[in-house]
Structure 1
Amino acid sequence: MAVVNRGNVVLQPTYFTSSVYIKALREDITTLVHNFHEQYKEDSTKPFALFKSLWNAQGWKWMHFKVFDSRARDTFLSVTFRLFLERMVKTEAPFTRTVALFALYTFFNTQPTGSAPTLRGLSHIPIPIDHYTTLIGLPGMLSSAYLAPLQPYVSYVVSALVNAQAFYLLPSSELGAQNPRDLPREIFVEEGLIDSNQPQGKGHQSKRDKVIKARTALDAVGRWLAQTPSDTGTGPTLSQYKAQKAQLLKEMGGETDGLEEASEGVVQRLREAQEEQGGDVEGWAGLARVHAASSTAGRLLGLLEQ
């Protein structure tokens, strides 16, 4: 009887661009930022050594050995680096950007070499040029007393990555030059994976269409908030705001996960901003109000109604 070797299970590249991987890794990165923040408040004398111990303790050092197939590994590496980079954009708090930079630097420089069999690595990290400019300017954002201990380490890491020519510059992020353009590309539902850019049957909107509608409604709310009495004569009313809010939630079709994550992110950034200024976070009434609003239906959209 012929002996048949059992085949190896290989993850397809689409797994790493799907909501299954993207959502889990985003949550892990958020946990890494939060845990480092908590320990940094206790001891900020050696921030990078603190980060490395946390990186190892949480199992990040094993990430490279989770994928061995070359084709899947290409996607795994590019998507993972991209998710670190998305936490370094200018809308993120300087502290969060610093932790994401440490993570990207560590992940990039711990790619296995000399292994047998050889594991495919990534020599250049694609990054939109506007995000690259923001990254280069990060050391200058760490001038407050709370963040000052991080500054020399961030300066060194940025210089090391630039000198190693680690980045592959892409056109500005608004042009959507990254591949895939948006993450996640595939959305996991109970029946399996679907392409988020394709309609799911006659009369149904694709995930992308829903996102576009939600963003349009959100922009409308933003324009309303930007109005002043001189623009309208009397200024916007609460009833107008509620109408805009209802339209936004309707367009999102009940899918408020992204809105909830954004709300939690706002609260976290406010906490970091207050600490950077040396304020008493627990006694800051404004933060308490925002935190309370983020816990209600409609999340932070209910803030102006309080």
Structure 2
Amino acid sequence: MATVNRGAVVLQPAYFTSSVFVKALRDDITNLVHTFHEKYKEDNTKPFELFKTLWSAQGWKWMHFKVFDSRTRQTFLNVTVRLFLERMVKTEAPFVRTVVLFGLYTFFNTQPTGSAPALRGLSHIPIPIDQYASLIALPGTLTTPYLAPLQPFASYVVSALVDAQVFHLLPNSELGVLNPRDIPREIFVEEGLIDSNQPQRKGGHYSKRDKVIKARTALDAVGRWAERTPSPSAAKTTRTRYEAEKTRLVQEIGVGSAGEREASQGVVERLLEAHAGSDGDIEAWTGLARVQTASGSAGGMLRMLQ
């Protein structure tokens, strides 16, 4: 009897853009920065050597072996460098930005090569132009006595990355140029343990909780529509007010009076003057024939106030 091998379990790219991975990696980066800070206060004579020691001790050297599938690995690499870069914005302290720069540099330059089968690698680091400018200026901010030991190493790392043409420049970050625009894109919500005594929902059927959510959503939508739509009583009030204003206007002008006929004729003359010299057919203009007819009849233009 022939045997069939089980398929390999492969993480989907969505895992690495989800809150499960993004939150964990953000915490790991924060822990790396804090640990380096504590050790740096004790001895700052060899900062980059200290960083490499912590990098290995915390298991970062194994990061590249988390996933091997090419499609998923591409997302993993892009998200990882993006999470390093997000801690290098101007709002972060120069010390934090420097430690994260060391991490980005080390992660990018320790990608496995020569393995069999070959692992997919990251050839360029996408970075918005404003973040790139901030990165280039970072060494110049390390001028205080506490930060000065970091400056030569930060300068070397920045120069090495720029000379190797590692960065793929993108438009300003305010334009949302990265894909996905925001991370995490998928949010994992833990709903708690399943009660085995409760009947399980069949596929394609809504649970009571789902029905309540859908009902509330529909109710909110109806409420928003009702706020935008005037009520019948409001429409009736508007119509009544219009009729009253129309009656008052007719009484003041007077139907068939010289003032009414002069005003009607003036409207027609201004319309004809406005369209003088046009290549189009005046008779075809919408409403013009109706205006001319109304101006020459009893009641004039007031007849059009229906």
Question: TM-score normalized by structure 1?
Answer: 0.63
Shift in Å, 1:175: 0.3
Cα distance, 1:6 vs. partner? 2.1
State the alpha-carbon separation in 2 of the partners of residues 66 and 146 from structure 1: 36
Aligned-residue offset at 1:190: 2.5
Partner of 1:61: 61
2:132 partner letter: Y
Specify the alignment match of 2:44 in structure 1. Answer: 44
**Identity percentage over the alignment?**
78
Deviation of 1:5 (Å):
1.1
TM-score, normalization by structure 2: 0.63
Instruction: Report the CA distance between 1:202 and its aligned residue.
Output: 6.2
Q: Who is 1:77 aligned against?
A: 77
* Pairing 1:168–2:172 present: no
Q: Distance in 2 between matches of 1:82 and 1:121?
A: 15
Counterpart in the other structure of 1:182: 182
Name the SS for the 2:73 alignment partner: helix
Which secondary structure state, in structure 2, belongs to the residue aligned with residue 83 of structure 1? Answer: helix
Instruction: Show the counterpart of 1:4.
Output: 4
Q: Which residue of 2 aligns with 1:150?
A: 150
Residues 40-97 of structure 1 show CA distances to partners (whole Å, capped at 9, x for unaligned) of 0000000000000000000000000111000000000000000000000000000000
Distance in structure 2 (CA, Å) of the matches to 1:140 and 1:25: 28
Runs of at least 4 residues off by over 4 Å: 200-204
Counterpart residue number, 1:22: 22
CA positional deviation for 1:191: 5.7
Q: What is the letter of the counterpart of residue 108 of structure 1?
A: F
Deviation at residue 203 of structure 1 after TM alignment: 4.6
Could you say if the C-alpha distance between residues 20 and 201 of structure 1 is closer, same or farther in structure 2, counting changes exceeding 3 Å?
Answer: farther
Deviation at 1:122, TM superposition (A): 0.5
Q: Distance in 1 between matches of 2:168 and 2:216?
A: 41
Cα-to-partner distance string for 1:115-163 (whole Å, 9 max, x where unaligned): 0000000100000000000000000110000000000000000000000
The alpha-carbon distance between structure 1 residues 202 and 80, as it changes in their structure 2 partners (threshold 3 A), is farther
- Separation in 2 of the partners of 1:191 and 1:8? 29
Q: 1:165 is matched by which residue type in structure 2?
A: Q
Following the alignment from structure 2 to structure 1, what is the Cα–Cα distance between the partners of residues 184 and 120? 23
CA distance in 1, matches of 2:76, 2:121: 10
> Partners in 2 of 1:87 and 1:24 — Cα distance?
15
Amino acid in the other structure paired with 2:38: E
Query: Which amino acid counterpart does residue 105 of structure 1 have in structure 2?
Result: Y
CA distance in 1, matches of 2:159, 2:167: 12
1:97 aligns with 2:97: yes
CA 1:156–1:201: 2 relative to 1, 3 Å: farther
What's the CA shift for 1:4? 1.3
Q: 1:201 to 1:112 in 2, by over 3 A?
A: farther
Letter in 2 for 1:26: R
Name the SS of the counterpart of 1:32 in structure 2.
helix
Give the match's secondary structure for 2:107.
helix
Deviations 1:6-45 (A, max 9, x none): 2211000000000000000000000000000000000000
Q: Measure, in 1, the Cα distance between the counterparts of 2:165 and 2:12.
A: 29
User: Which runs of no fewer than 5 residues in structure 2 stay unpaired?
Assistant: 193-212, 218-306
Cα shift readout 1:170-220 (whole Å, capped 9, x = no counterpart): 11010000000001000001269xxxxxxx85655xxxxxxxxxxxxxxxx
Structure-2 change in CA distance of 1:48 and 1:189 (3 Å): same
Count of residues paired in the alignment: 198
